[in-house]
């Protein structure tokens, strides 16, 4: 576990750099994570997906399956990786402040 | 951006010329001596493969040493088997004896071919897996130390005997279809850190992860509950939710399963089935485990007919006879209680006393 | 990597350097001579031996750019005690089909791994990958880049197509009905995206064995097992059969082991007979008389689906989906089938639901319809015994 | 109050003296001619049993007629078999021939012993059961009219062949373990009278009665709903709730199942398995059904080895071969999809083309 | 019963008076000569044949005083059309064990039934009862009272012990290992209350067969099957074996059918050998050589539980509960076991849950513990293959 | 179906004499049924069981299993049949105005 200061707030991160207290998530934190995950700038397209992930998680208590992300947002896998080069799980979910996906590895 | 999606090296660049020339043309093979295969081609050419044991978990030094050997005797060509042995591919018969000599001098074990006990297929254990109930490498080392004569051909077996070790019930390998499988198991119920769970638990996935439906949500704590009556201590929920822990050094241990097979040779593939429900973790030697494996191999080897795999032998004599001959207690643990349990109940008056 | 630190005593592990079988402890120690991470591992594993418990933390999600998998993140649960095992990720490197290598290639690999990682490997992982055992988050990308230079790509992890594996097939086996290695290579290249960018409900494994001996253990541990087979007669060389008999082979006993009584031995005429229509290609007779019997000439594969380990619904051994199909490069029919199956599964599968479990949940009939295949008696060992038959509305007469 | 709890008549008062004397002392038996058993005792005494066919559904007149016969030739002693045949118990050998003669004159069919097709075990059908999809008595009559030569021994079979007919999937008999079973089935989904259901439906029992969990409560109507996707038309809910109806003359019909057995002789008991999913109800002759049964018997009789029951034969040749030889279409209906479905999927590359 | 009415035409049923097999239609017509109810039945069944549907209503709950079962109530669904089938209840009359009768007894029964009912019977019902087919509510009690006078009691229905049944056993079979008829009679008398006053979750059936040939089909259709067996050696008369051989019996083929290779034929010495420890008492050799081979001398029963038809969880064939137990009058041990089992089931069973389904739901281990039996390998065809083992708290070390 | 007049009210009965509209049940009807079912007089003991049946049905939507009736009311089977000679299903349930039990026959 480690801490980073984002806009004056101490934010705890786990080893993988995921936020430990999802409730503390803010757009500032998203911006911070974005840099870590090789996203130059959070565009509207990025935000659409970030918000989608947050909403989905709120509603269902789980992260959506990648296929669903693509379908519901009308993006291809290629486009998704173009937006989030480190991928939907490590990249997009982290930026959206979701708990670390624990699916299969 | 770095190069991506280029795949593994082209296998064609990794084959010795004799194989390239005789690819798809092999006619038959023989086992001139334990650990050595002689494949003969339609073209009359032949290839000697010399199989040596490996710990699987190896160092760069090992990699370089086998590379040295391959260069000396095999023009640099070698391969690994699906059970993690190393095979030196000798195209020049004259180099066979010198190779075997050097291997012997360097304490490489030659064997694992044909009617033998080949390398154990095993998993990460305490070396690398967070789910590990026991150490697969340590168990493997101990068991094979005991079984080594069956590898080298000094002792003989009626048929192949494939042993597998898995450090948890995920069974990363083919434990569920092995002649003998050693599998790490838990015996106590997971503990939930509700505080943590409320933050990071994907509750629906966690609920779905339970084979027996023992997990229900606890909305008050924003967490989950485990129904003790239903939990079978499989640990699957702990894979899905980091807030659930199941490790319990005092009660964790290993179970032994027998009679599985994968091949379609003669009989159909079979699942391994429970022989010994629990042996405590007793590193570094796990003496009870090695004894049990040795015992099982010996009982089988001295009772089975030539060519009979463990499961084929048991199939012929019946499980009730197996438990008697192997002198193993039959307990409530052996009775299946999962989904297809009733298909394992005996629906005939045919049995041996 | 440079190394200074002296490794703490490992009395328990040291015991495992004795004995005849090659010692993993010795291997770790070899690596520890030059790698701090290997030292850290040694210390932590010794602790595990003493305390009878693992010391790795849950989870870990790290990777390389552009990929969603191929790396398994790992951290010690006690970084203060085992600082050198703090980050200990493994990289799953796609092995060469058939596990054939040149020493040159292996040395190049070792050089890179000594530079970026622990110098420890699993040759190979259970799925088939070369497992590079232990590196840091920081080193992942450079290591991957370096691997790329010697043509080693990563394999699969997560909800993706996993690294394929196969037996040595035609390269080194007279029984191979298919070019298993080429098939593995071709499919691997074709499905790079599916392997590297997880987009499926769970893992999906394909394994290929050249014949029903199944030396890749495909049917037990792959969602889709492609097993070489044939559909015409076994080729018999009676001359060689007689030699086996002359050498003492007991043909009555050999014939008795044929599961379907297809095999017969005519003592008088010293002739072996095989009723081809009764042969179920169990390999037995071919296995015991490799010089005399050969697989048939009309070759292809049998496709089995659903093989897997116990989690969640219990272990499964692959079920017959396609009794026989041709399997020649460029494997178009096979790819088409793989795609239809994975598409159906991706569409209907729940999170962490393997193909076999999906089929079990929805019914085999539903699945067959979904992937456009006809029911065949070869798919089952027996038809249903229960009378709970489902009828579709279009199959019956409409009522009022 | 009337006499209660006194049980059936004491069997000892129903036994002919020869049986009383030799009770537990029988040494062996022979079949001197079709339909006749000769049991010989340790004491040297013998008993002839003559088996005749019965419709099972019989009248007082029939009862009196067999009583007459029994009195004439058997001192009034007779019995029924577990398959509803009548057995005349002849202790005086001299009376055997006259008995057989009279039976023949009266058109009684003597047979059903040993390697034969004995009486069909059947159920109520339209005669008395509210669940009946078809008429068991009518089917039985038609099938046995066709099979009569196998009963009397004019035609021979490799082994016993036990046929059963049940008018619905409740299978009141041992259909599920018969060589050939004819079972009434529905093919459409039940209809619910919600008005009535709200009054008389024991909703929890009705929900529990559904094998596939297709029924859920409809609290608004105080009734239940059926999930069309899940309903397998078994009709069990209609047994529990009188407000649910499933009869559908146009779509109801019969299915045919093969290969079951009960005895532990040689092989273990086996379930009957689906051969023909649907044949329409076609009274009074059900020609498609009798043809199918005839065909199945003939295919079996001409292919099986001596002593092989239907299921043993199929077990030896494989179901894929059975469907080919019997020239029956294999359809999605044959694929199991109930609880243990996956244990019926073929987990081996061993099969016949 | 008196009769006037003329039966309507029954052209379809009439067809079924043709053919060789005894005709149920003819039987109904015989009864219809003197019974209005039989006429009503004929009319209604003819209608069913025309319309391809039954005409009986759901339910019907009628009975006799002091009993909760033994009668199945039945009403036509169209009393206007079939007035004579308005009430058409069946009485389940407990058959004589082994189905042995004197003509006198049968005549007495027919006299009563002609008086109070349709004059139609099932000889016998599938469970074993004499089914008296068709009477009115009004006649039930007088009919029952009259039956009592000739010692015929009612059998079971509802959530009760059902009428037992058995094969002819020692009365007429050389293979019987037990006195099946006496056992049935004794248990029936002992459990009169359980049979006549339903107090259980569902039906409970007990059937008895004298040997593993199972001529009562007990294992397939009784919750508890008691099957005669033995535990010592088969008695062999070599003399008689040789006679069979002399008469042309092919001993190689006979031996091949022994499921466990326990049977051997020594051609030279013309001797049959049986490895008793390998014999699973499949009856095969005894069946084919009744004069030469006899069951062993140490006799008893094997108890199987759980056999049943498909509703709800699928059909089951009884599972071994007790491999061997003695079975001598007064059958105390057996009764004790029956009581423990039914008690456990009555306590834990849900409404309409058969014993087999209960055991499946709770697990065999739980059931065994509940009825006080030890697990034995004879109970299963194979031990578990899945690793989902349940451990009790008292079996493990308590943790802080 | 048939009708009986009970205290001036037309009550519909099925063939087995069970009430068709359980909502119309009243103590008068119970008294009427009792006669039909060979119960001389409805004593306190009878009412205890009748009320128990009604309550159980209200709560669970099904008739209790006989064993439960005995246990919960502390009566033996013998006593139950003494109270209701035609048995718990045909007798007691009918008097209590429950729908006709449809359990197994
Ligand atoms: C090298 C290897 C394939 C590879 O690409 O790496 C291989 C190679 C051969 N196998 Fe295999 N099998 C290999 C793993 C397997 C496996 C997989 C496993 O063990 O995990 C199986 C399935 C095991 C199972 O059923 O559980 C396997 C089941 C067989 C069989 C069937 C054995 C049986 O009787 O059930 C044969 C036939 C035979 O032995 O006659 C066979 C036969 C052979 C032959 C003789 C084929 C040939 O003609 O070349 C090869 C010689 C090997 C030998 O060891 O005698 N191979 N073979 C694998 C060596 C592993 C090792 O190091 O020991
Ligand atoms: C490394 C490896 C074991 C080894 O020592 O070789 C392995 C290691 C893990 N397996 Fe595995 N599995 C490995 C091959 C297998 C196999 C064998 C195979 O692929 O042929 C199986 C059985 C076949 C199958 O897929 O069913 C296997 C069945 C599982 C399962 C159970 C899956 C199931 O459906 O039953 C899990 C559980 C999960 O996915 O959460 C699992 C999960 C895991 C995880 C990811 C557990 C975890 O969540 O941390 C392990 C990571 C260990 C680590 O830290 O490195 N692993 N796993 C194997 C992969 C190496 C490679 O890529 O070559
Ligand atoms: C009379 C009867 C018992 C009774 O108490 O009523 C009976 C009597 C005998 N049975 Fe049976 N079995 C009788 C129903 C059965 C049943 C039950 C059924 O059919 O519903 C079975 C189990 C059927 C099944 O497996 O599906 C049955 C399976 C056997 C067997 C094993 C047959 C097999 O090969 O699987 C034998 C042994 C034999 O035939 O050699 C046998 C042998 C015998 C013997 C030879 C025993 C003896 O030594 O006396 C009896 C002569 C009968 C015959 O028909 O050849 N009996 N027998 C039943 C006659 C029914 C009928 O009218 O046809
Ligand atoms: C009369 C009889 C058929 C016959 O023609 O012989 C019969 C008739 C009925 N059976 Fe049965 N069963 C009869 C023996 C059987 C048997 C065979 C046996 O007992 O050996 C079975 C299979 C064995 C078993 O119990 O599993 C049998 C399995 C069923 C089932 C399914 C039970 C299950 O658990 O799968 C039901 C459904 C139910 O209980 O609701 C059932 C239900 C019924 C009902 C009560 C259906 C209903 O709710 O109306 C039938 C009443 C018909 C009527 O109006 O007379 N009947 N029933 C048999 C009883 C006669 C007798 O007492 O001798
Ligand atoms: S078997 Fe279990 S503990 Fe071992 S590597 Fe696989 S998941 Fe990890
Ligand atoms: S350990 Fe297994 S059985 Fe127990 S709650 Fe977790 S997932 Fe369920
Ligand atoms: S699976 Fe068949 S083809 Fe492949 S190595 Fe084994 S025996 Fe040879
Ligand atoms: S391959 Fe197997 S099934 Fe075919 S003939 Fe040979 S032994 Fe028989
Ligand atoms: S099988 Fe069905 S229809 Fe026939 S008597 Fe039994 S319950 Fe009634
Ligand atoms: S007919 Fe059967 S499957 Fe359909 S709802 Fe009724 S009980 Fe369920
Ligand atoms: S079950 Fe056995 S004892 Fe009973 S009649 Fe059949 S063969 Fe004889
Ligand atoms: S009874 Fe069966 S198992 Fe026993 S010896 Fe005879 S044939 Fe073999």
Over residues E28-68, the pLDDT tens digits come to 999 999 999 999 999 999 999 999 999 999 878 999 999 99
The pLDDT score that the predictor gives to residue D119 is 98
F1-33, pLDDT tens digit by residue?
688 998 888 999 988 999 988 889 999 999 999
Q: Is the CB of C286 under 6 A from ligand 7?
A: no
What sign does the CA torsion over B231, B236, B241, B245 have? positive
Query: D32-41 long-range contacts, Cβ below 8 Å, gap at least 24?
Result: D33/D153, D34/D110, D34/D111, D34/D113, D34/D114, D34/D116, D34/D152, D34/D153, D35/D110, D35/D111, D35/D112, D35/D113, D35/D152, D35/D153, D36/D96, D36/D100, D36/D110, D36/D113, D37/D113, D39/E172, D39/E173, D39/E174
Interface touch B337/E277, C-beta < 8 Å? no
CATH domain C165-227+302-379 topology: Sulfite Reductase Hemoprotein; domain 1 (3.30.413)
The angle at the Cα of C200, spanning C196 to C204, to the nearest 5 degrees, equals 75
Rounded to a whole number of angstroms, the distance between the first and last alpha carbons of chain D is 70
Q: How far apart are CA C119 and CA C37, in angstroms?
A: 9
The pLDDT score that the predictor gives to residue E1 is 47
CATH of domain C3-149: 3.30.70.2500
Q: Tell me, yes or no, if B347 comes closer than 8 A to chain D by beta carbon.
A: yes
The pLDDT score that the predictor gives to residue C384 is 98
Q: What pairs with residue C300 in β-bridges?
A: C229
CA of C220, closest atom in ligand 2 = 23
Question: F61 to chain D: which residues are within 8 Å by CB?
Answer: 202-204
Please name the member of D47, D53, D175 whose beta carbon is closest to the beta carbon of E22.
D53
Interface touch B63/C25, C-beta < 8 Å? no
Q: What pairs with residue B277 in β-bridges?
A: none
Question: Do C270 and C226 touch, CB atoms closer than 8 A?
Answer: no
Token digits of residue E272: 């049959």
Interface predicted TM-score (ipTM)? 0.97
- Closest listed residue to residue C28, CA positions, set C49, C53, C58: C49
pTM beyond 0.90, yes or no: yes
Token digits of residue D317: 């040749």
Q: How far apart are CA B165 and CA B162, in angstroms?
A: 10
Question: Do B242 and D320 touch, CB atoms closer than 8 A?
Answer: no
Q: Ligand 7 center to residue B257 CA distance, Å?
A: 26
Q: What is the pLDDT along chain D (353 residues), one digit of tens a residue?
A: 579 999 999 999 999 999 999 999 999 999 999 999 999 999 999 999 999 999 999 999 999 999 999 999 999 999 999 999 999 999 999 999 999 999 999 999 999 999 999 999 999 999 999 999 999 999 999 999 999 999 999 999 999 999 999 999 999 988 999 999 999 999 999 999 999 999 889 999 999 999 999 999 999 999 999 999 999 999 999 999 999 999 999 999 999 999 999 999 999 999 999 999 999 999 999 999 999 999 999 999 999 999 999 999 999 999 999 999 999 999 999 999 999 999 999 999 999 99
Q: Ligand 9 center to residue D184 CA distance, Å?
A: 9
User: Which residue in the block uniquely carries the two structure tokens 């080298």?
Assistant: B152
- Closest listed residue to residue C333, CA positions, set C364, C301, C365, C367: C301
Tell me the ligand closest to B136's alpha carbon: 5
Q: Is the CB of D53 under 6 A from ligand 9?
A: no
To which CATH superfamily is domain A2-95 assigned?
Answer: DsrC protein, C-terminal domain (1.10.10.370)
Token digits of residue B61: 């030094």
Asked whether the predicted pLDDT for residue E280 surpasses 60, the reply is yes
Torsion angle (degrees, nearest 10) of CA D68, D74, D79, D83: -90
The pLDDT score that the predictor gives to residue E260 is 98
Residue nearest to atom 4 of ligand 6 (CA): B231
Q: How far apart are CA A68 and CA D276, in angstroms?
A: 42
The pLDDT score that the predictor gives to residue F100 is 85
Q: In the structure, which protein residues have their CB atom closer than 6 angstroms to any atom of ligand 8?
A: C 258-260, 262-263, 274, 279-286
Which residue of B56, B121, B122, B124 sits with most ligand 5 atoms within 8 Å of its CB, as the best mutation to test the pocket? B124
Residues 6+ apart with CB under 8 A from D205: D240, D241, E351, E352, F62, F102, F103
Q: Measured between CA atoms, how close is A7 to chain C, in angstroms? A: 26
Q: Measured between CA atoms, how close is E392 to chain B, in angstroms? A: 8
Residues 6+ apart with CB under 8 A from F61: D202, D203, D204
Percent of all residues in chain D with a pLDDT value above 90, rounded to a whole number = 98
Token digits of residue F87: 């048995």
Q: What is the full DSSP assignment across D185-247?
A: E--S--EE-HHHHHHH--HHHHHHT-TT--EEEETTTTEEEE-TTT-----HHHHH-TTEE--
- Closest listed residue to residue D322, CA positions, set C386, E317, C380: C380
Omega prior to D86 cis, within 30 of 0: no
Please name the member of E319, E368, E399 whose beta carbon is closest to the beta carbon of B188.
E399
- What is the side-by-side strand order in the sheet with D253-258? D163-166, D180-185, D253-258, D273-280
What are the residue boundaries of the structural domains of chain F, listed by start?
2-95
Q: Tell me, yes or no, if E266 comes closer than 8 A to chain B by beta carbon.
A: no
Average model confidence (pLDDT) across chain C: 96
Torsion angle (degrees, nearest 10) of CA E79, E84, E87, E88: -130
Q: Measured between CA atoms, how close is E91 to chain B, in angstroms? A: 33
Rounded to a whole number of angstroms, the distance between the first and last alpha carbons of chain A is 22
B35-51, pLDDT tens digit by residue?
999 999 999 999 999 99
Which residue of E254, E282, E288 sits with most ligand 12 atoms within 8 Å of its CB, as the best mutation to test the pocket? E282
Label residue C336 exposed, middle or buried (CB < 10 Å: 0-12, 13-18, 19+): exposed
Q: Ligand 12 center to residue D313 CA distance, Å?
A: 19
Residue ranges and CATH numbers for the domains of chain B are 12-105 (3.30.70.3340), 121-187+249-330 (3.30.413.10), 191-245 (3.30.70.20)
Q: Tell me, yes or no, if D339 comes closer than 8 A to chain B by beta carbon.
A: yes
A48-84, pLDDT tens digit by residue?
999 999 999 999 988 999 999 999 999 999 999 999 9
Question: Do E341 and E304 touch, CB atoms closer than 8 A?
Answer: no
Half-sphere exposure of C264 (CA within 13 A, CB side): 10
Higher pLDDT, E325 or E400: E325
The listed CATH number (3.30.1450.10, 3.50.50.60, 3.30.70.20, 3.40.50.620) that belongs to domain E235-294: 3.30.70.20
CA of C354, closest atom in ligand 2 = 34
Per-residue pLDDT, averaged over F34-40, amounts to 92
B126-149, pLDDT tens digit by residue?
999 999 999 999 999 999 999 999
Tell me the ligand closest to B168's alpha carbon: 5
User: Which residue in the block uniquely carries the two structure tokens 């109806």?
Assistant: D245
Q: 3-class DSSP state for residue D320?
A: helix
Q: Measured between CA atoms, how close is D314 to chain B, in angstroms? A: 18
Q: Is the CB of E62 under 6 A from ligand 11?
A: no
Asked whether the predicted pLDDT for residue E336 surpasses 60, the reply is yes
Neighbours of E398 (CB within 10 A): 9
Question: C22 to chain B: which residues are within 8 Å by CB?
Answer: 53-55, 108-109
Token digits of residue E4: 């006037």
Neighbours of D141 (CB within 10 A): 31
Q: B 88-147 residues with CB below 8 A of A? A: none
What residue spans of chain B are helical by DSSP H? 17-22, 60-74, 96-105, 136-152, 194-200, 203-208, 236-240, 287-303, 310-317, 319-325
Question: Do C63 and C69 touch, CB atoms closer than 8 A?
Answer: yes
Name the pLDDT band for A22 (thresholds 50, 70, 90). Answer: confident
Q: Ligand 10 center to residue D236 CA distance, Å?
A: 6
Taking the mean position of all CA atoms in its chain, how far away is CA D242?
A: 27
Catalytically annotated residues of F: 104
Q: Largest Cα–Cα distance of chain D, in whole Å?
A: 76
The angle at the Cα of D314, spanning D308 to D318, to the nearest 5 degrees, equals 140
Q: Where in chain E is the domain with CATH 3.30.413.10?
A: 165-227+302-379
D79-124, pLDDT tens digit by residue?
999 999 999 999 999 999 999 999 999 999 999 999 999 999 999 9
Strands (E), B103-237: 163-166, 180-185, 191-192, 215-218, 223-226
At how many degrees (to 10) do helices E355-362 and E332-348 cross?
A: 70
Neighbours of A40 (CB within 10 A): 9
Question: Do B190 and B246 touch, CB atoms closer than 8 A?
Answer: yes
Q: Ligand 2 center to residue C125 CA distance, Å?
A: 9
Q: 3-class DSSP state for residue D120?
A: coil
The angle at the Cα of D203, spanning D211 to D214, to the nearest 5 degrees, equals 30
User: Which residue in the block uniquely carries the two structure tokens 């086998």?
Assistant: B66
Half-sphere exposure of A67 (CA within 13 A, CB side): 17
Q: How far apart are CA E184 and CA E308, in angstroms?
A: 19
Q: Tell me, yes or no, if D199 comes closer than 8 A to chain F by beta carbon.
A: yes
Report the length, in residues, of chain D. 353
- Closest listed residue to residue E163, CA positions, set E71, E227, E75: E71
Q: Where in chain E is the domain with CATH 3.30.70.2500?
A: 3-149
Interface touch B269/D348, C-beta < 8 Å? yes
The pLDDT score that the predictor gives to residue E4 is 61
Helices H / strands E in chain F, number of each: 5, 2
């Amino acid at each position: 576990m480690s801490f980073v200061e984002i806009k004056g707030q101490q934010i705890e991160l786990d080893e993988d750099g995921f936020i430990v207290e999802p409730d503390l998530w803010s757009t500032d934190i998203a911006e911070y994570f974005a840099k870590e995950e090789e996203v130059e700038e959070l565009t509207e397209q990025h935000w659409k997906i970030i918000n989608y992930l947050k909403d989905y998680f709120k509603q269902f208590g789980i992260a959506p399956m990648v296929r669903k992300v693509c379908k519901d947002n009308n993006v291809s896998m290629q486009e998704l990786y173009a937006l989030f080069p480190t991928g939907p799980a490590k990249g997009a979910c982290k930026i959206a402040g979701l708990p670390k996906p624990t699916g299969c590895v | 951006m770095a190069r991506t999606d280029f795949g593994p090296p082209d296998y064609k660049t990794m084959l010795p010329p004799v194989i390239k020339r005789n690819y798809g043309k092999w006619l038959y093979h023989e086992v001139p001596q334990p650990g050595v295969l002689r494949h003969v081609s339609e073209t009359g050419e032949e290839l000697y493969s010399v199989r040596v044991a490996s710990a699987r978990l190896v160092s760069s030094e090992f990699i370089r040493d086998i590379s040295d050997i391959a260069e000396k005797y095999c023009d640099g060509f070698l391969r690994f088997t699906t059970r993690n042995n190393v095979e030196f591919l000798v195209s020049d018969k004259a180099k066979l004896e010198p190779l075997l000599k050097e291997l012997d001098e360097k304490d490489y074990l030659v064997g694992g071919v044909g009617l033998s006990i080949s390398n154990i297929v095993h998993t990460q254990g305490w070396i690398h897996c967070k789910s590990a109930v026991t150490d697969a490498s340590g168990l493997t080392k101990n068991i094979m130390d005991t079984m080594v004569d069956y590898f080298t051909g000094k002792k003989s077996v009626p048929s192949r005997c494939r042993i597998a070790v898995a450090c948890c019930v995920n069974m990363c390998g083919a434990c569920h279809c092995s002649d003998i499988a050693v599998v790490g198991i838990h015996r106590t119920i997971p503990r939930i850190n509700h505080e943590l769970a409320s933050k990071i638990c994907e509750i629906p996935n966690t609920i779905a992860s339970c084979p027996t439906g023992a997990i229900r949500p606890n909305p008050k704590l924003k967490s989950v509950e485990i129904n003790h009556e239903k939990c079978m201590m499989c640990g699957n929920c702990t894979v899905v939710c980091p807030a659930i822990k199941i490790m319990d050094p005092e009660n964790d241990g290993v179970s032994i399963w027998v009679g599985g097979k994968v091949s379609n040779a003669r009989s159909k593939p079979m699942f391994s089935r429970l022989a010994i429900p629990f042996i405590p973790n007793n590193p570094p030697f796990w003496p009870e485990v090695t004894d049990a494996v040795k015992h099982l191999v010996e009982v089988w080897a001295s009772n089975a007919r030539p060519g009979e795999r463990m499961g084929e032998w048991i199939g012929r004599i019946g499980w009730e006879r197996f438990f008697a001959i192997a002198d193993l207690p039959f307990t409530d643990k052996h009775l299946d209680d999962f989904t297809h349990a009733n298909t394992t109940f005996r629906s005939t008056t045919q049995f041996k006393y | 990597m440079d190394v200074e630190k002296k490794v703490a005593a490992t009395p328990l592990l040291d015991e495992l350097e004795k004995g005849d079988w090659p010692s993993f402890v010795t291997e770790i120690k070899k690596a520890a001579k030059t790698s701090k991470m290997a030292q850290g591992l040694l210390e932590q594993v010794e602790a595990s031996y003493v305390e009878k418990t693992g010391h790795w933390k849950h989870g870990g999600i790290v990777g390389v750019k552009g990929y969603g998998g191929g790396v398994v993140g790992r951290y010690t649960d006690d970084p203060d005690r085992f600082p050198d095992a703090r980050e200990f990720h493994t990289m799953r490197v796609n092995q060469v089909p058939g596990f054939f290598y040149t020493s040159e290639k292996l040395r190049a690999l070792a050089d890179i791994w000594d530079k970026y990682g622990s110098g420890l490997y699993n040759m190979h992982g259970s799925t088939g990958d070369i497992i590079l055992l232990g590196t840091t988050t920081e080193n992942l990308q450079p290591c991957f880049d370096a691997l790329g230079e010697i043509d080693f790509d990563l394999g699969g992890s997560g909800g993706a197509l996993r690294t394929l594996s196969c037996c040595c097939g035609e390269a080194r086996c007279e029984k191979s009905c298919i070019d298993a290695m080429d098939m593995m290579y071709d499919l691997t290249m074709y499905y790079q995206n599916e392997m590297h960018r997880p987009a499926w409900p769970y893992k999906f494994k394909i394994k290929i064995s050249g014949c029903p001996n199944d030396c890749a253990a495909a049917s037990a541990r792959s969602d889709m097992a492609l097993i070489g087979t044939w559909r015409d007669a076994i080729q018999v060389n009676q001359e060689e059969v007689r030699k086996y008999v002359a050498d003492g082979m007991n043909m009555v006993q050999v014939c008795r082991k044929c599961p379907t009584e297809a095999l017969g031995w005519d003592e008088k005429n010293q002739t072996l007979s095989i009723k081809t229509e009764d042969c179920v290609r169990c390999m037995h007779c071919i296995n015991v008389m490799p010089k005399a019997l050969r697989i048939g000439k009309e070759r292809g594969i049998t496709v089995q689906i659903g093989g897997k380990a116990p989690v969640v619904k219990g272990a499964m051994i692959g079920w017959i989906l396609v009794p026989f199909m041709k399997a020649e490069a460029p494997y178009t029919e096979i790819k088409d089938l793989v795609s239809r199956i994975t598409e159906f599964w991706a569409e209907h599968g729940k999170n962490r639901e393997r193909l076999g479990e999906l089929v079990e949940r929805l019914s085999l009939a539903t699945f067959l319809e979904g992937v456009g295949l006809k029911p065949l008696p070869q798919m089952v060992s027996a038809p249903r015994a229960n009378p709970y038959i489902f009828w579709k509305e279009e199959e019956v007469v409409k009522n009022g």
